């Protein structure tokens, strides 16, 4: 009998496993793939996450960058050097996720990789998680199996809100990559293109966050990559959904919680997903530890904590995204090109500033620009 079974070994699952194991709880992590495994993701991580752990992430970081570059149709650039902030981490998810799980294992967590959950049943006072090999028993469950996982549905979250964005990404190996973090807004509707540097190449991706007419992501991304002398036809491309935050909702049920993209906590403005996933993993671990200690309201409090500490921020992010992506040309002109705007966005990405601190003024400028336009 495990104290907690965590399904999914991504940033949410790894964070939860580490903190539960460190508290002396018996933890099992199930991961359907062998580790390390490739995960399509730009790989930008806010250095704020270091505050939630007591070990050094350096071995899992490919590159650090404090330089941001924004463009509109590959022109009209806006650049900023966030030298006053801790640089943003650029990671490869196969390395980063595996490293986090290894830290959890060092604390006593057990990993069963290449082991998919095939179903779950509640057995009076614990959950039975079925696998192809054998059933496993845990007093509590954390569903951290991502936006495409089955755990949320199996747990009965059938009426929950799920707003999905679409993305296409590719990894390109290049010598001496540009170390700046690039964002391009003019070539795609209702979203943006990103180019995140790594020590040995780029993670180039495109995503849309408001819906709209279908776009030829592959052609757009190939045209963009050509500006960096990258031929994406020689790189494998990966399409995947992103679970955007779309309002507060319960993330708990009988002896179980949702975490990470299974909880749909991705930033609807920037599509940042690693930091919120790790945040939910940390908070889920604390809640389940308290529940194991006899706090009957701990899981309900978990839903409330995520709503208060992350959802309140995402409400502002959603308002900004709704205005900005409606007419991004105007948004770029009156928002991004405004002096200090890029620096403030960098502070948000680094966890040093909250959306709520800048959103009211930004919304007034954006809506004023829309009216004038």
- The pLDDT assigned to 341 comes to 86
pLDDT digits (tens, 9 = 90+) for 160-209: 888 888 899 999 888 889 999 999 999 999 999 999 999 999 999 999 98
CATH of domain 2-62+88-162+244-316: 3.50.50.60
pLDDT digits (tens, 9 = 90+) for 23-66: 999 999 999 999 999 988 899 999 999 999 999 999 999 999 99
What is the mean predicted confidence (pLDDT) over 72-100? Answer: 95
What is the mean predicted confidence (pLDDT) over 238-267? Answer: 95
3-state secondary structure of 144: coil
Of the candidate ranges 196-200, 310-314, 352-356, 361-365, the one whose mean pLDDT is the lowest: 361-365
- The pLDDT assigned to 371 comes to 46
Q: Identify the residue with better confidence: 299 or 159.
A: 299
CB hemisphere CA count around 151 (13 angstroms) = 32
- The pLDDT assigned to 248 comes to 93
How far apart CA 100 and CA 12 sit, in angstroms, is: 10
Place of tokens 């200690």: 293
Residue 14 CB-density burial (10 A; 0-12 exposed, 13-18 middle, 19+ buried):
buried
How far apart CA 259 and CA 359 sit, in angstroms, is: 26
CB atoms within 10 A of CB 58: 10
How far apart CA 194 and CA 70 sit, in angstroms, is: 9
Give me the percent of the chain exceeding a pLDDT of 70: 98
Which CATH code of 3.30.9.10, 1.20.20.10, 3.30.1490.190, 3.30.70.1150 fits the domain covering 163-243? 3.30.9.10
The answer to whether 224 touches 74, Cβ cutoff 8 Å, is yes
Place of tokens 């505050």: 51
How far apart CA 90 and CA 67 sit, in angstroms, is: 12
pLDDT digits (tens, 9 = 90+) for 100-145: 999 999 999 999 999 999 999 999 999 999 999 999 999 999 999 9
Residue 11 CB-density burial (10 A; 0-12 exposed, 13-18 middle, 19+ buried):
buried
Confidence class for position 368, pLDDT limits 50, 70, 90: low
Host H or E run for residue 202:
strand 201-208
């Amino acid at each position: 009998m495990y104290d907690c079974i965590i399904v999914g070994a991504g940033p949410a699952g790894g964070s939860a496993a580490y903190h539960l194991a460190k508290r002396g709880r018996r933890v099992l992590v199930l991961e359907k793939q062998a580790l390390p495994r490739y995960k399509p993701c730009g790989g930008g991580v806010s250095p704020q996450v270091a505050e939630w752990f007591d070990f050094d992430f350096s071995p899992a970081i490919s590159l650090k960058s404090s330089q941001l570059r924004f463009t509109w149709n590959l022109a009209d650039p806006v650049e900023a050097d966030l030298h006053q902030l801790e640089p943003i981490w650029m990671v490869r998810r196969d390395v980063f996720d595996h490293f986090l799980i290894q830290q959890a294992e060092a604390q006593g967590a057990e990993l069963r990789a290449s082991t998919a959950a095939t179903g779950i049943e509640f057995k009076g006072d614990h959950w039975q998680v079925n696998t192809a090999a054998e059933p496993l028993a845990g007093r509590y469950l954390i569903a951290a199996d991502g936006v495409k996982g089955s755990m949320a549905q199996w747990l009965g979250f059938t009426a929950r809100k799920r707003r999905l964005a679409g993305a296409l990404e590719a990894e390109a190996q290049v010598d001496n990559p540009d170390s700046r973090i690039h964002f391009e807004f003019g070539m795609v509707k209702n979203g943006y293109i990103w180019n995140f540097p790594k020590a040995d190449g780029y993670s180039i991706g495109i995503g849309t966050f408001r819906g709209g007419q279908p776009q030829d992501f592959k052609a757009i991304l190939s045209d963009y990559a050509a500006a960096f002398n990258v031929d994406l036809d020689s790189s494998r491309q990966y399409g995947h959904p992103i679970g955007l935050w779309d309002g507060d909702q319960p993330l708990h049920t009988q002896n179980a919680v949702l975490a990470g993209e299974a909880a749909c906590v991705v930033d609807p403005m920037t599509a940042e997903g690693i930091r919120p996933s790790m945040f939910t993993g940390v908070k889920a671990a604390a809640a389940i530890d308290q529940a194991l200690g006899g706090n009957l309201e701990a899981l309900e409090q978990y839903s409330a904590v995520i709503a208060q500490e992350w959802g309140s921020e995402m409400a502002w992010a959603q308002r900004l995204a709704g205005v900005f992506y409606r007419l991004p040309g105007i948004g770029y002109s009156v928002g991004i090109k405004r002096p200090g705007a890029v620096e403030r966005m960098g502070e948000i990405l680094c966890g040093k500033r909250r959306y709520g601190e800048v959103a009211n003024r930004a919304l007034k400028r954006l809506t004023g620009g829309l009216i004038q336009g």
